[in-house]
Structure 1
């Protein structure tokens, strides 16, 4: 028998998605991960690098839930020291060092924060002791932390570092370092890395039910949202990594996870960097939690709120009250006050918190839990963005324990993401790269900090088509080649995938991407084979999304904001009504290779799924949505 060659590609485009779906339908997987957020994509990489045949399904786009709407920090969680949660802080700081120095140095960068002081002597001693402990924990992983230690600032030093502060707001402060990341870009890169190592990765494939033999889960009933085809995927173990959708996903199989996940809404504002002068970020205490002011390129991120959310999980909406709350608190310490006219962008995300006895979401546990809720189904929930790799390892450890044979331990602590290997060398020769491709050095630096050594692939697009070096309309930080690359290499299938997640144009541009939309849709259409009608529909849908978000942010409460936001339907719902989608064939998944007849489920529900077509009209019911990625913040 001839041995099949193993080919690896850094691309995750339409062809790779189609091949992944075909492969998952044809042959049983060892591990199927449901959910394409930070934990789900991390679990797929952990599984495939142990030598397991691995699949990953995401109902929408990678990081379309919580994992693209975090505070964009990789941090130990300094506030957890006061809660005496030393184990969580130490674990997160070790992971921070790994991400900064080994796993993703091109994506994760140090950022300096001020912890301001309002009381003399005792507060400085108390906070200083906490900072010492924070620094000590960062060294406990057996390697340098990758960031400098904390420092004390006098009132004069503080005024020099942050001229934009009200001079009477604080008597001094301490500065410390954490790290920041473009969360959505990281998740997309993580999915590509899993695909590169052999995982079968498919966005826009929704899980609508589970296949069972007796009480054991042996796979899922899946819907390709892009074509309307339904099929089955068989797997020895399924991992439920759906974040705030965990309870909904568990309900599909008729089981609870043994714990409950609550959704907490966090809202962030984006304002221009020139609205107040400061060389560093800031952390402030509020009556409910903490408020971060975070440097973000030519912008500041200000957040977050922390309120219970029981409405639509796919599109959490910020309200006028949320925006006013953040402005009120940050204005208490600024010399020149911010107004709503200073706000460029607003985004809202949901944290998946493990429900406890406390009624306040800010006091719920950020620890994660892993459980075999029913045979064949592992559920992972809780946790925080920074510790995603540990969560993924724990989930796959639990799944592997139920597999026959001996399998390797997790190796992800030693695996850099695509673009990481050789990043520092590429950075050191960035001037030469700029000359070789006739691109400004600042552009090359921007690309290196988004793509690492894969920057060459983006620059090759410009070499073939020099016009792609032009800036995106209304978003000068990005060039048009990045929009093409997102569709050809990064798994983007819709306009909002590019403007909201592969780039952050939807929150960074004053018009939130309205002027960029037609250009981006046309460029994506060249890659994805869109005709003029499809390009127009993608563009108009994005404009409806922006209008609905803006309108929802004028509403006084969650219920009203949710109602207004949902007036803009998902693009998948709209496309399902087009003639090309309605004519999509319905196929039956073949029997997976190597399975015995007795192992293949033949329930009435699964039999019906092979002969029915996906609904083509109306909004997708919420009960059908759960299996989406939703990694913790």
Structure 2
């Protein structure tokens, strides 16, 4: 992208209208279905190659799996036990790229403690695995942004993480991975793709495929789309279509009819709890995260701003995919597992937020989701259609490049992927702003801590947010019920980040929905008023947005009181999606 073209990345209401009109009339080289991280990555990969690109998302950017992860960029230490060395090495390569070049403002190194609870054999066994993990990642960490592992004695382990039970822990190994704000990272990928000319439309649900004939193997030539902002419909023509729909992959298969795709995707539910930092004493030096072995998988305790994320579960899910629900059994399981090593047990009363996501796993012979493959697959069931599924968040860029490679096979002269060293929106000028928190705070009359938080959410886009405050000092005030966020961030979410609903802002542009005890309900009226001022909502529309959001929170709370998946799912479906109101 050339200097002066920054405005092309803005996902403004005006940009959406222009992209909608363009997609309805043009024939694009590559049309991507799915606005999660893999679909966004495919749109960026194709657009940065110089191809004309469309990107369609049924709800909001990262509304599904890509906003509900463990917030980690990692190689997958546990996959070493499965001897999946190429998968781990690939992921560690991507980790280094994200930390150093692609998104250093959003992806940061994070230390983890692997507590040792057994005699000497455990230190030797785990130590060998972590050493191999370092070796597999070292060749790609040019400036060694990720430190090497260290062995800690029992005393050093307890000093690093005082909340550990003294009668259980015999020592620890400290190793490093990285952390990401997944929803904001996916959004940055979408905006970067838009900067390269991709037409990006959220609230645009694909309802059918266009085919070149009636035969089962007839080529796909485009899609039919329902615009959920106004109830209209239109068609998009494309030379190649990529479906990056994750756990919704079967929906595309149903659209194909007899030409069923040659891959199967299973959904695995992962539930996470958010608790205050004060609920777990993580020491004064870190804090480090924890990785714990469980009977079926691993459990993470992850520092997240001024809180902790505890997760995750790993269970099959065959119910509603748009709104996976956490049950009281999921919450009890996580509390039971983490309390085995904590000196002060957590209780349900400590939980501030809960979120559940679905992992798209390639199905193998075993039905146990913890054993299903985390590798990805790219298939072309009929000409003109590419399906990509599986994988993990960390390797989204590789998945996207593979999918685009398959899509452009029929396009002569198409160049190869360029995204390995391509900084995202927010990262290009990161080096110039990352140490300017104090100066920017003084210049705009804001607390330095506030600007520091803005920097790690927006990168060099912090200047655009602060310009809003300069133009209207009232936007420099904290949000009701969420003092860590400014009113300016809501306006920026609408004018630059494609937010169309209150839920988009409270759940993904910010994380107020999981970081506050009220789960965003106290903030919703002010957020709706700010959004309405930009989008031209009347009083009825503004009130409806607040009602929808409040109903969503109430339904989630009710689902988390249910004993099993089926009753939790039924409770969560008591609140319809806000986009269904059109």
Normalising by structure 1, report the TM-score: 0.89
SS at match of 1:137: helix
Shift of residue 469, structure 1, vs aligned partner: 1.2
Q: Deviations for 1:373-392, whole angstroms, at most 9, x for unmatched residues?
A: 11100000000000000000
Partner-residue secondary structure (3-state), 2:522: coil
Counterpart for residue 521 of structure 1:
528
Deviations 1:545-591 (A, max 9, x none): 000000000000111011110010111222x2xxxxxxxxxxxxxxx
Q: 2:389 aligns with which of 361, 366, 381?
A: 381
Question: Does the 8 Å CA contact 2:9/2:193 hold for their aligned counterparts?
Answer: no
How far did residue 7 of structure 1 move? 8.6
Take 2:437 and 2:108, find their aligned partners in 1: how far apart are those partners? 17
* TM-fit CA distance, 1:256: 2.4
Residues 120-129 or 352-361, more deviating: 120-129
Question: What does residue 106 of structure 1 align with?
Answer: 105
- Are the structure 2 counterparts of residues 367 and 211 from structure 1 closer, same or farther at C-alpha, using a change threshold of 3 Å? same
Distance, in Å, in 2 between the alignment partners of 1:463 and 1:141 is 42
311-320 vs 435-444, which moves further: 435-444
- Residues 96 and 141, structure 2, Cα contact 8 Å, conserved in 1: no
The alpha carbon displacement at 1:473 in A equals 1.4
Instruction: For residue 266 of structure 1, give the secondary structure of its aligned residue in structure 2.
Output: strand
Cα displacement (A) at 1:441: 1.3
- SS of the residue corresponding to residue 569 of structure 1 reads coil
What does residue 365 of structure 1 align with? 373
- Kept after mapping to 2: 8 A contact 1:118/1:172: yes
Query: Are 1:229 and 2:232 an aligned pair?
Result: yes
For 2:143 and 2:84, the matched residues in 1 are separated by 22
Query: How many angstroms does 1:416 deviate by?
Result: 0.4
CA distance in 2, matches of 1:236, 1:155: 61
Give 3-state SS (helix, strand or coil) of 1:380's partner. Answer: strand
Matched, 1:251 2:259: no
| CA distances 1:95-134 after superposition (whole Å, capped 9, x unpaired) | 0000001000011011110011112322111111111111
SS state at 1:110 partner = strand
State yes or no: 1:399 paired with 2:407: yes
CA contact (8 A) 1:8 1:197 kept: no
Alignment of 1:511-550 (within 5 A): 511-550=518-557
| Deviation readout 1:310-348 (Å, 9 max, x if unpaired) | 000000000000000000111111111111110000000
SS in 2 for 1:64: coil
Deviation at 1:307, TM superposition (A): 0.5
Cα shift at 1:429: 2.5
Deviation at residue 6 of structure 1 after TM alignment: 8.3
Cα distance in 2 between the residues matched to 1:551 and 1:418: 38
SS of the residue corresponding to residue 449 of structure 1 reads: helix
CA contact (8 A) 1:41 1:194 kept: yes
Q: Secondary structure at the match of 1:9?
A: helix
Partner of 1:618: none
Residue matched to 1:436: 443
Question: What is the match of residue 219 of structure 2?
Answer: 216
Q: Does 1:268 align with 2:275?
A: no
What is the SS of the residue equivalent to 1:264?
A: strand
Alpha-carbon RMSD across the aligned residues, in angstroms, is: 1.2
Paired residues for 1:443-592 under 5 Å: 443-574=450-581, 576=582
Q: Which residue of 2 aligns with 1:338?
A: 346
Give 1:228 shift: 1.0
Name the CA distance, whole Å, in 2 between partners of 1:474 and 1:165.
32
- The equivalences for 1:289-304 within 5 A come to 289-304=297-312
Partner of 2:171: 172
Q: Give per-residue Cα distances to partners, 1:570-619, cap 9 Å, x unaligned.
A: 11222x2xxxxxxxxxxxxxxxxxxxxxxxxxxxxxxxxxxxxxxxxxxx
Of structures 1 and 2, the one with the larger relative CO (CA 8 A, separation 6+) is 1
Higher deviation after alignment, 273-282 or 359-368 = 273-282
SS class of match (1:256): coil
SS at match of 1:538: helix
List per-residue Cα deviations over 1:497-548 (Å, max 9, x = no partner).
0000000000001100010000000001111111111000000110000000
Structure 2 regions of 5+ residues with no counterpart?
none
Taking the TM superposition and a 5 Å limit, the aligned residue runs for 1:34-433 are 34-141=33-140, 143-214=142-213, 215-254=218-257, 255-278=259-282, 279-403=287-411, 405-433=412-440
Provide the C-alpha distance between the structure 2 equivalents of 1:7 and 1:63, rounded to a whole number of angstroms: 22
State how far apart, in whole Å, the 2-side matches of 1:326 and 1:512 are.
20
* Structure 1 counterpart SS, 2:9: coil
Q: Are the counterparts in 2 of residues 48 and 54 from structure 1 also a CA contact under 8 Å?
A: yes
- Contact 1:269/1:343, CA 8 A, preserved across alignment: yes
Please give the secondary structure, in 2, of the residue aligned with 1:513. Answer: coil
Give the conservation status (yes or no) of the 8 Å contact 1:97–1:144.
no
Q: Choose 95-104 or 140-149, whichever is displaced more.
A: 140-149
2:434 aligns to what SS in structure 1? helix
Contact 1:138 1:145 in 2 (8 A): no
Deviates more, 1:81-90 or 1:130-139: 130-139
CA contact 1:541–1:568 (8 Å) conserved in 2: yes
Q: CA deviation at 1:459?
A: 0.3
| 8 A contact 2:204–2:228 mirrored in 1 | yes
- Worse overlay, 516-525 or 459-468: 459-468
Deviation at 1:300, TM superposition (A): 0.3
- 1:370 CA displacement: 0.3
Alpha-carbon distance in 1 for matches of 2:436, 2:67: 31
Q: Structure 1: how far apart are the matches of 2:482 and 2:506?
A: 10
- 1:600 aligned residue: none
TM-score (norm 2): 0.97
The answer to which of 241-250 and 39-48 deviates more is 241-250
Which position in structure 2 is the counterpart of 1:579? none
Asked if the contact 1:393–1:410 (Cα under 8 Å) also holds between the matched residues in 2, the reply is: yes
- Secondary structure of the residue aligned to 1:428 is coil
